[in-house]
């Protein structure tokens, strides 16, 4: 059985699996090649309808936390005959961590158009207000037929998810630990400087997580990775030249 999170986000990504006849310059960035696939989706309760041909590369789809989605997808070009198909939808992570697969399909298909309905209810642990970059591909007979990517946001606020409290607690905890390490009366040696760097790593991690959960940066932003390195450097520098170290 497919996971509820994967179902909801896969449906959202499927909405932009291809752009059939987009006319804006931005739309060419969503699907390659343009017109190879067309898709649409309607969220019943949320009253949201999206069609791939009406989306641009800058669009972000906001979806309800729980809803029923009616979707339809068409592969343009192949005849409605038996053929080998494959594809996947993935959630992009900050570099260099790649992505996480949310859904895959593979096997023989005899039709060029499919439709269906999904009912989903995302748990509260899935954060709202966070831009999730989804990427989709579809292959026909071993050849890449179309690719797409889109940003998806779950409606709601940052504090709808308990993850924000974990991020803020971790941020405060490791910041306090670094502050205490920097208050030592004795001059810092190599061991203490290394300890500062090690404490700075989770500090940077929780800072990046907090920025993502607060909707400041997308999940796949390189800034999240940069903050890990900056945390290590800042932790070591803080311990070495802490301005709050008591005078001996």
What CATH number is given to the structural domain containing 47? 2.70.50
Q: Tell me: the pLDDT tens digits for 27-81?
A: 444 677 877 888 888 999 888 888 877 777 678 889 899 999 898 888 887 766 7
pLDDT at 221: 94
Q: Which two tokens stand for residue 45?
A: 């309760």
pLDDT at 139: 92
pLDDT at 29: 44
The number of domains in the chain is 2
Instruction: Using alpha carbons, list the distances in angstroms from residue 137 to 20, 100, 101, 193, 194.
Output: 15, 14, 11, 46, 44
Domain boundary among 103, 130, 154: 154
**Is 217 within a domain?**
yes
pLDDT at 15: 46
**Is 246 within a domain?**
no
β strands within the chain, DSSP E: 31-32, 37-43, 48-51, 60-63, 66-75, 83-92, 99-109, 113-121, 132-140, 143-154
Domain boundary among 154, 171, 201: 154
Task: Please indicate, yes or no, whether residues 119 and 97 belong to a single structural domain of this protein.
Answer: yes
pLDDT at 80: 62
Domain boundary among 105, 126, 154: 154
pLDDT at 51: 82
**Is 85 within a domain?**
yes
Residues 63/126, Cβ–Cβ less than 8 Å:
no
pLDDT at 195: 95
* Element containing residue 127 per DSSP (H, E): none
Residues 202/174, Cβ–Cβ less than 8 Å:
yes
Residue stretches of the chain with pLDDT short of 50:
1-4, 14-29
pLDDT at 232: 97
**Is 148 within a domain?**
yes
pLDDT at 150: 84
Task: Please indicate, yes or no, whether residues 118 and 179 belong to a single structural domain of this protein.
Answer: no
Task: Please indicate, yes or no, whether residues 72 and 52 belong to a single structural domain of this protein.
Answer: yes
The domain containing residue 30 runs over which residues? Answer: 4-154
pLDDT at 211: 96
Listed in sequence order, the residues at least 6 apart from 122 whose beta carbon sits closer than 8 Å to its beta carbon are 4, 5, 8, 65, 66, 154
Task: Please indicate, yes or no, whether residues 147 and 29 belong to a single structural domain of this protein.
Answer: yes
**Is 50 within a domain?**
yes
Task: Please indicate, yes or no, whether residues 118 and 49 belong to a single structural domain of this protein.
Answer: yes
DSSP annotation of 121: E
């Amino acid at each position: 059985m497919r996971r509820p999170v994967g179902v909801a986000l896969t449906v959202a990504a499927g909405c932009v699996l291809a752009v059939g006849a987009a006319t804006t310059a931005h739309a060419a960035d969503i699907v390659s090649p343009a017109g190879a696939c067309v898709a649409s989706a309607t969220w019943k309760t949320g009253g949201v309808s999206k069609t791939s041909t009406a989306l641009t590369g800058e669009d972000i789809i906001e979806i309800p936390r729980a809803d029923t989605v009616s979707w339809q997808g068409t592969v343009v070009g192949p005849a409605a005959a038996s053929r080998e198909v494959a594809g996947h939808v993935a959630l992009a992570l900050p570099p260099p961590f790649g992505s996480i697969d949310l859904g895959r399909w593979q096997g023989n298909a005899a039709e060029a158009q499919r439709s269906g309905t999904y009912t989903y209810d995302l748990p509260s642990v899935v954060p709202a207000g966070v831009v999730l970059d989804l990427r989709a591909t579809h292959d026909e007979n071993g050849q890449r037929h179309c690719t797409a990517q889109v940003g998806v946001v779950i409606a709601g606020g940052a504090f709808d998810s308990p993850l924000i409290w974990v991020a803020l607690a971790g941020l405060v905890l490791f910041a306090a630990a670094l502050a205490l390490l920097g208050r030592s009366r004795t001059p810092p040696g190599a061991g203490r400087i290394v300890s500062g760097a090690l404490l700075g790593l989770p500090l940077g991690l929780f800072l990046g997580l907090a920025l993502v959960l607060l909707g400041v940066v997308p999940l796949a932003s390189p800034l999240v990775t940069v903050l890990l390195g900056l945390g290590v450097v800042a932790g070591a520098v803080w311990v070495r030249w802490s301005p709050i170290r008591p005078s001996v």
